Amino acid sequence: MIEAFQYINKAFESKVRLGIMAILMVNEEADFNFLKEQLSLTDGNLASHTRALEELGYIICNKSFVGRKPRTVFQATPQGREAFKSHIEALEKFLKSK
């Protein structure tokens, strides 16, 4: 049972980061406002969690303008997708070991 814990990724212990990655796993991309609404977060809270995932190389952030409005879009990287899949597999393995 303890063996399963070694593959649990600390980056996804936060329910916010888990939620961000879950959304990005099923959507090719998601913009800042969509993530904010889906996860019921403040701007600052979402920004800090996306920054942490970016620093780990799990997501990328693309900023652009639509007309005069800024638009921030996030995508999961291949590394992030693999890390998230491994995390979910470790959780499943842990649950099955009981």
Give the H/E segment covering residue 62.
Answer: strand 59-66
Identify whether 1 is part of a domain: no
- Number of structural domains the chain divides into: 1
| Alpha helices (H) in the chain, listed in sequence order | 2-5, 15-26, 32-39, 43-55, 78-96
Q: What is the pLDDT of residues 14-33, one digit of tens each?
A: 999 999 999 999 999 999 99
Q: What is the pLDDT of residues 42-68, one digit of tens each?
A: 999 999 999 999 999 999 999 999 899
Identify whether 3 is part of a domain: no
Boundaries of domain holding 34 = 11-89
Identify whether 76 is part of a domain: yes
| Closest to 77 in 3D by CA, of 60, 98, 52 | 60
Q: How far apart are CA 80 and CA 23, in angstroms?
A: 12
Identify whether 21 is part of a domain: yes
Identify whether 5 is part of a domain: no
Identify whether 77 is part of a domain: yes
Identify whether 68 is part of a domain: yes
